Amino acid sequence: MDQCDAGFSQAERSKFLDDKLTKALDQIEAAAVLLLANLEGLVHCPFCNYAAQYPPVEEDREFRCANPECGIVSCRLCHKETHIPQTCDESAREKGYSARREIEEAMSAALIRKCNKCRTPFVKEAGCNKMTCPQQVCRNVQCYICSKNCDYTHFNDQHRGGQEGNCPLYDKNVESRHELEVKNAEGAAREAVSLKRPDVDPSLLKFDMSSRVFEDDERRKQASHYGRGYHRGARRIEEEPLGEIALPAMPHNLAQYHEQLHQRERFRHWQRLQPQVAPPAVPGIAPFNPIMIPDDPAPAGRVANWLGNIPFPGPRELD
């Protein structure tokens, strides 16, 4: 039996092999036949075992798989799905940028809360975790930690009806909370992207932050004058632009955002301390000067004197 070179027909194999194994053997035989044929210009689909003859890659960069179970159009240079008219490098960079945007959006979503009633986005600067929606028509109250509607009994302050173990009413350092939440979101997003897009170059997912960003962040933390008991409430993040880092911003711009936000608040406070100036009068209105009737004892005299003050046209010559 070891020296026998005879094979089994398709009908014989189907008697003792299942469909999956039979199909695998057929594919192996087809690949072997194509290899022995040594066909010129034979190109294989990178996503299945289908092969076909094609002209040189300079004439046609795409491989169009005719396998009905596949049907993928691929690039013959990088063996990935087609990206024409982009080059392979351009496509790789774009995929990397797209994947990095997914990570950045996940980090921003971890930092920015939304009102669970009107969906207005906001971020907390300092103070307690009992947040009030900045929208005047909403004013919904929710917890900054879990985003549930709440009152003071929701928190861990027993003096206000809360219980130990509930969400904290105050954060010792809100910046530390933000940094931890953003870091955890970044790690989870990177893992999800690597599973979904294993072909993306990991170097394209890095954030290039200069040392100045870290220096500004540390300086802002040390110079921060907001502390426990200073309640600001929620701030709408699109309330007014903040230059190049207007929210929703990328997480690596968080330091500049807070720095400019604090500068803006200090300027507003200075404006409120300035003396109020009365608004200017409305221009274009002439003063009303009535004609005073002389105080003559006789009514007829008063009327005559009053009429004497009115200019009348002189005599006119008749034709």
**pLDDT per 10-residue tile (average), the chain, 319 residues:** 70 74 74 70 84 85 89 87 82 75 83 88 84 89 92 91 91 83 86 78 62 56 48 49 43 60 61 57 53 52 52 55
For residue 142, tell me if it sits in a domain: yes
Q: Between β-strands 62-64 and 73-75, what pairing exists: parallel, antiparallel or unpaired? A: antiparallel
Is residue 14 assigned to a domain? no
Would you say 13 and 22 are in contact if contact means Cβ atoms under 8 Å apart?
yes
Supply the pLDDT for residue 240.
40
Is 311 among the domain residues?
no
Assess if residue 316 is contained within a domain: no
pLDDT value of residue 153: 93
Distance CA 179, CA 254 (A): 9
Q: What is the pLDDT of residue 168?
A: 92
Identify the domain containing residue 101 by its residue range: 89-198+229-261
Instruction: Note if the bond before 241 is cis, omega within 30 degrees.
Output: no
Confidence (pLDDT) at 289: 55
For residue 261, give the 3-state DSSP assignment: helix
Considering the domain boundaries, does residue 156 fall inside one?
Answer: yes
Q: What's the domain count of the chain?
A: 1
Write down the pLDDT at residue 236.
Answer: 54
Backbone angles phi, psi at 142, to 5 degrees: -145, 165
Q: Is residue 108 part of a domain?
A: yes
pLDDT at position 226 is 46
Residue 215 included in any domain: no
For residue 238, the model assigns a pLDDT of 47
pLDDT reported for residue 135 = 87
- Alpha-carbon separation of residue 51 from 39, 159, 193, 271, 310 (angstroms): 11, 76, 31, 75, 111
Specify if 238 maps to a domain: yes
